[in-house]
Chains A and B, each alone.
Chain A
Amino acid sequence: MAQPIAGIQKGCALECRGVTYRLPSGTALVSDLNLTVARGETLVLLGRSGSGKTTTLKLFNRLLEPSDGEIFIAGRPSSAWDPIQLRRGIGYVIQDAGLFPHWSVERNVALVPQLEHWPEERIRARVKEMLELVGLPPAEFATRRPSELSGGQRQRVGVARALAADQPILLMDEPFGALDPVTRAELQREFRVLASRLEKTIVFVTHDVREALFLGTRIALLAGGRLAGVHAREEFLNATEPEVRAFVASLQLSRGDEEVR
């Protein structure tokens, strides 16, 4: 088993207290955000483009620093963490995976263990384990380049990379957004199983309500940089906030309601 990285314990929580993020020009992308992510849950940040979802996510791993308010990671203010150590304890998956094109799949997955100076054999064993976990047989995929993979396979490698050092926290920014519907559904199903098994604290950004309902234990709806409401998955469809109603209505315009329940 991997040791906790940078002292981030398993099953820790994340919290935003009065967090505002402003651009140098003064425009606020996120305003007065109060939000808690409980240990082991998958919190979905749902919202339209430009609602501040990605900004919020980047505040958690200190790719951005809040202009006001504070973020707590495992009970400690984010500003008290060393940003590099903090990020190594937080898995990060983005759209198109962001794999290093000049590295093999194996080396991509080994990134954080390597940064953390794990012994060579342990890294090799871990990479193998991770590739199997995400459904890519190591014998076939380990030595490939990202350019030799399909979109879905790349995204699987992205997930394997984010899990490789057994990071207790996982941040995912529309990880399945660029995939075709069939592959997306497949990855969503597998990811749900994985999430329930791994006991990670996950923050998942999407603009797709159906994905939010399928993966989230709770759903936080962002609109114009503000929190419009946080609901458990079961309550979301009956919520009364107008922003939530708008999203639910968009769901009813399309088909496939039974899949939602």
Chain B
Amino acid sequence: MNWYDFLLRNRGEVLERTAEHIGLVAAAMAIALAIGLPLGIALVRRVTLQRWVLAVANVVQTIPSLALFGFLIPVPWIGGVGASTAIVALALYALLPILRNTCTGITGVDAAVIESARGMGMTPQQVLWQVELPLAAPVLLAGIRVATVISVGITTIAAAIGAGGLGVFIFRGVAMVNNQVILAGAIPAALLAVLADFGLGVVQRRLATR
């Protein structure tokens, strides 16, 4: 039996796992954006604090994913085995690229443009929403793109702590020593990552040439 025969025969479960996978990534990205964007904006002009926060985010990023899942399981409220722990860990991983790119994106906006915006009588809010964020958008989106691709990848490991997703096939296939089962998870997961990267890349380029 070929791997795509297996895929076709089990398309119900494959679709279900894919949806689960996308759901985990989406939930984690939503949390990471909700925290990372405002935090990044708040840190733009607080250089010392920014360095510390980015250093901490950097450390989190270097923790191997399975180890981070392990760390989180005993934590009360968010921990335990299942999707919520996985989402927290994924959000932590996604946070660094979003934070870093929010900071560098806004810092990189031409100082003369910001000065004339303030000098012409825009309020700080107007400067942020009408000038800084639109001009930082391509860099911001690059961060979101990296974070999304990382999340799609790490979500496959989340199956190890019972969060579901396409990793379920991979782990099951490894246990069964069955390549078809492994590929039924690995190929859609890889496709998902490539598609996310490509799609967000298109949006990013469109923003940059605007």
Give residues in A with beta carbon < 8 Å to B. 58, 61, 63, 84-90, 92, 94-102, 111-112, 115, 158, 161-162, 171
Contacts and interface: CB of A to CB of B under 8 A. Distances in A.
A101 B135 contact: yes
A84 B119 contact: no
B120 A102 contact: no
B112 A88 contact: no
Contacts of B116: 92, 94, 97-99, 158
Given A88-B120, A100-B113, 7 more contacts: A63-B115, A86-B121, A87-B120, A87-B121, A98-B117, A100-B117, A100-B130
Given A101-B135, A102-B134, A112 B120 contact: yes
A87 B113 contact: no
- Interface size class for chain B? 10 to 19
B210 interface: yes
A98 B119 CA distance: 10
Nearest to B119: A92
Given A96-B112, A100-B113, A101-B135, A85 B121 contact: yes
A115 B121 contact: yes
A102 B210 contact: yes
Contacts of B122: 84, 111, 115
B104 interface: no
B35 interface: no
Which 3 pairs show the lowest CB-CB distances between chains A and B?
Answer: A98-B116, A88-B121, A87-B121
Interface of B: 110, 112-113, 115-123, 126, 130-131, 134-135, 210
Contact of A161 (B120, B131, B210): B120
Nearest to A82: B121
A162 B117 CA distance: 11
Contacts of A63: 115, 118-119
Secondary structure dominating the interface of A: mixed
Contacts of B119: 58, 61, 63, 87, 90, 92, 94, 98, 171
Contacts of A102: 134-135, 210
Contacts of B110: 98, 101
Contact of B131 (A87, A94, A100): A100
A101 B113 contact: yes
A87 B118 contact: yes
A142 to B, nearest CB: 18
A86 B118 CA distance: 11
Contacts of B115: 63, 94, 98
Contacts of B113: 98-101
A98 B117 CA distance: 8
Contact of B120 (A58, A92, A95, A96): A92
B121 A95 contact: no
B112 A84 contact: no
A158 B110 CA distance: 16
A175 B155 CA distance: 54
A95 B112 contact: yes
Contacts of A94: 112, 115-116, 119
Contacts of B112: 94-96, 98
22 contacts: A61-B119, A63-B118, A63-B119, A84-B122, A84-B123, A85-B121, A87-B121, A90-B121, A92-B120, A94-B115, A95-B112, A98-B115, A98-B116, A98-B117, A100-B113, A102-B134, A102-B135, A111-B122, A112-B120, A115-B120, A161-B120, A171-B119
